[in-house]
Amino acid sequence: QKRRAASAPPASPPSPKPRVDKSAEPGEHPLVAFGPQPVSNDAEFGLLIDAGSTGSRLHVYEWPKRVFSTLPPPITHPLTSELWTKRRAPGISSLADDPKAAAETLLPLIEHAKVLLRHYQKDWHRFPIWVKATAGMRVLAHTPRRAIIEEVRALLLSDKNPFHFVEADAARVISGEEEAGYAWTGINFALGHLLEDGTGSGTARPTRAGGIVE
């Protein structure tokens, strides 16, 4: 029998060149975004705060403006950089006796986002912000857990936060199953296992996806 040659896995797209913010002050880290330029001058950004047990991490993401002429619309490929991440300790769950103080530990992260997005200040009110609390908050009793989340929501609705707090559920404690789902999706996306052609857009068919232990 003739042996069929194994098909080679799809080649990964070449790494894009970083885009450097040349207006950074002397001694300041330049802002670097990996990926294509937005399709218009109006960049789209979103902010996610991962409120873990030992600290909270801010992640700022950029994606091309959702303008398309075909259906179904193309998959948006979010872009980020390690310079767009900041960690703040302690975790909000460690301040269960003072829910307001717990919420205010997120203020330095919001201030960091304002610095990163200083060139887009007129659009801050459009950029959504989410807070996803994980294991540290899940183990708290219902009353202190709810009190902290209510204070976080109040903070995000106040004038201390210039970004778009969409709805109450944009700040909440997520389940372990949801957290594991995000981990599975993130790892397989980074490995190129969700999109068959490896281009960063297309129809997701996870035939090569791998499992994870969370």
Same domain, 51 and 104: yes
Which two structure tokens, joined as six digits, stand for 180? 């594991």
Looking at residue 109, which CATH number applies to its domain?
A: 3.30.420.40
* Residue range(s) defining the domain that contains residue 196: 175-214
For 90-118, what is the mean pLDDT?
Answer: 95
Residue 17 amino acid letter? K
Among 50-64, 100-114, 188-202, the minimum mean pLDDT is found in: 188-202
Same domain, 125 and 184: no
Same domain, 126 and 190: no
Same domain, 162 and 198: no
pLDDT reported for residue 12: 43
Same domain, 120 and 205: no
Per the structure, how many domains does the chain have? 2
Question: Which residue pairs, CB below 8 angstroms and at least 24 apart, start in 82-88?
Answer: 83/29, 83/30, 83/31, 83/32, 84/31, 84/33, 84/59, 84/60, 84/116, 85/57, 85/58, 85/59, 85/60, 86/57, 86/58, 86/112, 87/55, 87/56, 87/57, 87/58, 88/55, 88/56, 88/57, 88/58
- pTM, two decimals, is 0.74
Asked whether residue 12 is assigned to any structural domain, the reply reads no
Same domain, 136 and 207: no
Same domain, 89 and 37: yes
Q: pLDDT by residue (tens digit) across 131-187? A: 999 999 999 999 999 999 999 999 999 999 999 999 999 999 999 999 999 898 888
Which two structure tokens, joined as six digits, stand for 101? 């103080």
pLDDT reported for residue 19: 45
pLDDT(11) > 60: no
CA distance 130 to 53: 17
Which residue is it, tokens 């857990």? 145
CA distance 189 to 198: 10
Asked whether residue 7 is assigned to any structural domain, the reply reads no
Catalytic positions: 179
Same domain, 137 and 181: no
Same domain, 118 and 46: yes
